[in-house]
Amino acid sequence: MKTLCVALCLSALLLPVGMSRAQTQAGNEMFPDIGAVLGEPKPAVATGPALTLDEIQQIALAENPEIHVAVRRVTMAEAHVPTTGTLEDPQLMVREWQVPLSKPWDYNAAQNMLMVGRSLTGPGKRGLQTSIARSDVEAMKDDLEATRLRVRVEVRKAFYDLLLTQEELRIHDQHVEIARQAIEAARIKYTVGKVPQQDILKAQLAMMRLAEHMIHFERDADVARAQMNTLLGRDPSTPLNLQGDFGVDAVLPSDKALEQLAQQARPDLLAAQVAVEKSAQEEALTKKAFVPDFSVAAGYMRMPTGSDFRDNYMLEGSMSLPWLNRRKHNAEIAESAAKVNEQDAEVAAARTAAFGQIEEALAEARAAQRLARVYSDTLRPQAEETLHAAVIAYENNQTDLLDLLDSQMTVIDIDLSSFQAMGDFAARWSELELAVGAPLESVQPGAPEAKP
């Protein structure tokens, strides 16, 4: 790039300087103000220390509002556990029998009873109720992990989107000054009649392409920054300074290793398994319907005046008879058994779908990695060599300025496509982590690997 700048400067200095005002005015009319089109270079804004991907993810996991909501749901489910499986409140009962209507105040003529009682569930029922409530806690925890995973993946995508726009803007800034000098050289050549009007139009189109790039890059940067800050629980306009690379040289694990990890870490698979266990516990509780419930009570009774025994005590007990309602309970048991079978089928279907998503995401990641390597290892070096050859040819008057500009725009397009391919690989890596349910770094070191 420096060689191209020197060549353009020399070409402008070596042109005839005896131009008339009319020629200069014609050149100015044919070329719009490049500063107005491309925009003046923007000074770098200090945004504090650069943040790495790991630091950004830690901030998001600590500050993301959706994660806070999921944490509170877990807390609410945990608070519900102690309320299940407990005994019913004791009951106090007062009875006044045979109180004379003619003397409603004469309780000495009545039977006065004071009793305390409590209902008792059948053996094993309260333990199963508590286990079901704990299953709900596990389900909420799986939902929390799913939210954390989704936020982590979205943060990773936003990080690389913003990193991509930073690289695109850097490439743009490198070529803007070259474009300014090239357009100025073309202006001078036009005024002395060495450049036809058709070439001027091509130069203007090249300039407009740079301006169009700048508009799209700034828009993409603003969108990525707003998405990132939203995930971090910050004001969307908060400045961000990121540091990192796209990790194109990372080695992708094998599909078998990823499937094994998914069964251990993917939140929806774990939640499905928890649902199966909960259904089994509900079935066991339903089968306890044939275990009777009890109620007991004890009390004191004072008989009317004149009775042989005025002071007495009372004991009461009752028991439900579920065997007399067998049809209802058998239907409930059959329904719970059907639910267990349905949950088993859902687990198998979820596992199959997860493995399919892993295979699809892995194929996309491998393809994106190969494409990024083609750009970085082959196309970019070839484009740089072609531009270098064009500069040498221009210095030796073997080509014109527009051919040189075409070479420059080709290099720009390849550079941008290269970074976009790297960004696409980073996005595919994130989608693969979402399909697996855990960071790919957590794959066991001894797991087989597949190189794309």
Q: For residue 172, which amino acid is it?
A: H
The total domain count for the chain is 1
| Confidence bin at 447 (pLDDT 50/70/90) | very low
Burial 232-257 (b: 16+ CB within 10 A, else e): beeeeeeebebebebebeeebbeeeb
Residue 293 reports pLDDT greater than 60: yes
Residue 389 reports pLDDT greater than 90: no
- Domain for residue 450, yes or no? no
Q: For residue 197, which amino acid is it?
A: Q
pLDDT in tens, 52-72: 888 898 999 999 999 999 999
Strands 91-97 and 311-319: what pairing?
unpaired
- Domain for residue 448, yes or no? no
What does DSSP assign to residue 243?
Answer: -
- Tokens describing residue 428: 């595919």
- Domain for residue 239, yes or no? yes
**Mean pLDDT (the chain, rounded):** 80
Residues 6+ apart with CB under 8 A from 237: 225, 226, 229
First to last CA, the chain: 33
- Is the Cβ–Cβ distance between 207 and 37 less than 8 Å? yes
Burial 105-128 (b: 16+ CB within 10 A, else e): eeeeebbbbebebebbbbeebbeb
Does the pTM exceed 0.85? no
pLDDT in tens, 208-232: 777 777 787 788 888 888 988 998 8
- Domain for residue 411, yes or no? yes
- Domain for residue 202, yes or no? yes
Distances (CA, A) of 109 to 95, 182, 309: 13, 119, 14
pLDDT at 13: 36
Give the least confident one: 224-233, 347-356, 387-396.
387-396
Q: Note every long-range contact of 18-25, with CB atoms under 8 Å and residues 24 or more positions apart, other chains counting.
A: 19/188, 19/191, 19/192, 23/191, 23/192, 24/191
pLDDT in tens, 80-131: 999 888 888 899 998 888 888 888 888 888 888 899 999 888 888 888 888 8
Q: What would the mean pLDDT of 289-302 be, rounded to a whole number? A: 90
Q: Provide the domain limits for residue 246.
A: 2-442
- Domain for residue 173, yes or no? yes
pLDDT in tens, 118-158: 988 888 888 888 888 999 999 999 999 989 999 998 898 88
| Confidence bin at 327 (pLDDT 50/70/90) | very high
Return the closest-CA partner of residue 188 out of 323, 11, 2, 404.
11
Residues 6+ apart with CB under 8 A from 325: none
- Is the Cβ–Cβ distance between 63 and 233 less than 8 Å? yes
pLDDT in tens, 191-208: 766 666 666 666 667 677
- Domain for residue 452, yes or no? no
299: domain CATH number is 1.20.1600.10
Query: Cα–Cα–Cα angle for 69, 73, 76, nearest 5°?
Result: 135
- Domain for residue 451, yes or no? no
* % of the chain at pLDDT higher than 90: 18
